[in-house]
Structure 1
Amino acid sequence: MKQKFYLWIEEYLFFPNNFQKIISFLLLPLTFIYMLIILTKRAMAKQIEFGIPIISVGNIIVGGSGKTPVTINLASKYEDVCIILRGYGRASKGLQVVSLRGKILVDVKTSGDEAMLLANSLPKATVIVSENRVTAILKAKELACKIIFLDDGFSKYHISKFNILLRPKDEPTNIFCLPSGGYREPKGFYAQADIELLEGKDFKRVISIKKDGKISELPTKTILITAISKPKRLLEYLPKDIKMISFPDHYSFLKEDIDKIQNEYKEYVILTTGKDLVKLKEFNIKNLYLMDLEIEISKDVDFSLMNEYIESFNKGV
């Protein structure tokens, strides 16, 4: 029942049916108030210069659009890099140094799933989670990091940074901001990006199936377990008859969740994403398969502006 509700919400926000469109229109007064708050915050923000290159990888729609894998792709090209993110779904509060130049210092409950995925994927990077991005940036400088990537930092108007915005391959038919639609910021804000990357044109997702770190074929009886935003997007990479059980984004799996699934689907192997795998490892699941996601960025994308921005700090400008 919960799974159907979350999928209904996803449909309402992005690709509403006629009934959902009515609800969307009824909520427009609240949407206008929300947009007024966003525009006021942006207009009144006084940007802080930190003396270090800060690259924000963000989007303006609710939920995932490839921010984390794109961040991994870009950050892997630099030395002394720090990734800063809020750490949604973590049990901790405040600033936590998840990894320091590749050495992981906390567990996944403290870090949150995305931060741990970043820490595992970037073995030389520093990863920090914090609700306060300013505090985290100052901590990164204290740790002698030379470049910072903000995961989902576009809306931090008070931070002077270079903005990369990701645009989905399938643009939502619902063009409104919350709560009438799935946009966190007005659609026109794409024009505020220093670089805009369109999925399918500027970058694409490459999926491989792995078991115990090796490329593998999926058995016929497979069930997908995931707790990511917009889980239906995974299905285009998988066999049509695959079963899926989805949980809310950043959900912390419980032993009873896994026991229930394994009892109900005794003959099935379990498939999951990298973001979910960091939380499922503790359950020692047999026959656990991974949807390994990598991002390929087109050679036609011009990163010269970003390179000039980074180089300006190296020159002391």
Structure 2
Amino acid sequence: MKKKLIFWVEEYFYNPNSTQKLLSLLLLPFSFIYCFCMFLRFKSKKSEDLGVDVISVGNLSVGGSGKTPLVTALASRYEDTAVVLRGYGRESSGLLVVSSGSEILCNVAASGDEAMIYAHKIPGAIVIVSEDRKKGILKAREMGAKIVFLDDAYSKHEIKKLDIVIDVESKNSSCLPSGPFRERLWSQKEALVVKEGRDFKRVVELKNKSDKMSLITAIARPERLDSYLPEVVSKNYFEDHHSFTKSEVFDILQRDKAESILVTYKDFVKLEQFDLKLSLLDMHVEVEENIFKTVDDYRGFGNAKKD
């Protein structure tokens, strides 16, 4: 039931049928109220300098946008780095240090899938999950971080930061609940708007390929993978951040008579514990220098560490 509801909502926001379009139109008055409340919230906040350089990377709409690989690419460029995120879908709560920058300190169930990606992909970075981003930033600073990247924190207007916003194309530009937008790009707030294909591009590498692969993935709007997919026996979509069981994965493997399960890195960090043969659709992004220049200008110097 939960899976069907999530997929229905994704369709409603990004590829609506005629009934969903009508519903969106009926909900438009509530969207105006919601958006006005978000504007008042923005105006009521005063940003606080937390004594460390803070860069937020995210998008204004619900659903996936490619922020995880972009944060990874940016954070990998600098020394004394931390990544702080909410840790959506994790079994833990409160502030948790996932990686000290030299050692991963918990499992994926406690950290959430996205935080574990950062712990694997940026082994020298501190990774912290916390519903309270301010507490997470202060903990990162205490641990020696000089630059903190926030995963999806445009709405944290109470924190002094550089906002990098990924422009996600949508046929529906309305705010919730009529459309997918959680907030507007307020004209009184400075932000760098970046777009895939212009400011960064995805590079996909297929690792551990087999002749017969079944795709299993739990990412938002999984159809985004279609242009990168090799031939697969079947496509099996689960709701974003789904916690897999070994039996449901093994059943698909057996049903398809597949030689391996094809996964993204977000799925890999959850499925590697099951000791099944995995093929990996590994994705990273190549970033234009103008983004690094903006980060360096915000920090007040241009000493980015080259790869």
Which category of TM-score, normalised to the shorter sequence, fits these structures? Answer: over 0.9
Structure 2 partner of 1:274: 265
SS at match of 2:74: helix
1:164-243 → structure 2 map (5 Å cutoff): 164-168=164-168, 171-186=169-184, 188-189=185-186, 192-211=189-208, 216=209, 218-219=210-211, 221-239=212-230, 243=234
Which residue identity is paired with 1:195? L
Percent of aligned pairs sharing the same letter: 46
Q: CA deviation at 1:242?
A: 5.2
Cα offsets for 1:127-169 (capped at 9, x unmatched) = 000000111111111112111000111110110101111113x
In structure 2, relative to structure 1, the CA distance for the partners of 1:271 and 1:191 (3 Å cut) is farther
In structure 2, relative to structure 1, the CA distance for the partners of 1:241 and 1:119 (3 Å cut) is closer
1:49-198 → structure 2 map (5 Å cutoff): 49-168=49-168, 171-186=169-184, 188-189=185-186, 192-198=189-195
Structure 2 partner of 1:256: 247
Which residue identity is paired with 2:201? K
Structure 1 partner of 2:17: 17
Q: CA deviation at 1:17?
A: 2.5
Which residue identity is paired with 1:11? E
Distance in 1, Cα, partners of 2:293 & 2:234: 44
Q: CA deviation at 1:33?
A: 2.5
Cα offsets for 1:226-249 (capped at 9, x unmatched) = 111110100111146652111111
Aligned length: 303
* Contact 2:215 2:232 (8 Å CA) reproduced: no
In structure 2, relative to structure 1, the CA distance for the partners of 1:154 and 1:313 (3 Å cut) is farther
Q: CA deviation at 1:6?
A: 3.7
5+ residue gaps, structure 1, are none
The Cα RMSD (Å) is 2.1
5+ residue gaps, structure 2, are none
SS at match of 2:55: strand
Deviates more, 1:133-142 or 1:236-245: 236-245
Distance in 2, Cα, partners of 1:113 & 1:244: 20
Distance in 2, Cα, partners of 1:266 & 1:105: 36
Q: CA deviation at 1:15?
A: 2.4
SS at match of 2:300: helix
Q: CA deviation at 1:306?
A: 2.1
* Contact 2:85 2:133 (8 Å CA) reproduced: yes
SS at match of 1:308: helix
SS at match of 1:90: coil
Which residue identity is paired with 1:184? R
* Contact 2:54 2:160 (8 Å CA) reproduced: yes
Distance in 2, Cα, partners of 1:11 & 1:77: 36
In structure 2, relative to structure 1, the CA distance for the partners of 1:34 and 1:183 (3 Å cut) is same
Question: TM-score normalised to the size of structure 1?
Answer: 0.89
Question: TM-score normalised to the size of structure 2?
Answer: 0.92
State whether structure 2 residue 290 is matched by structure 1 residue 311. Answer: no
Which residue identity is paired with 1:180? S
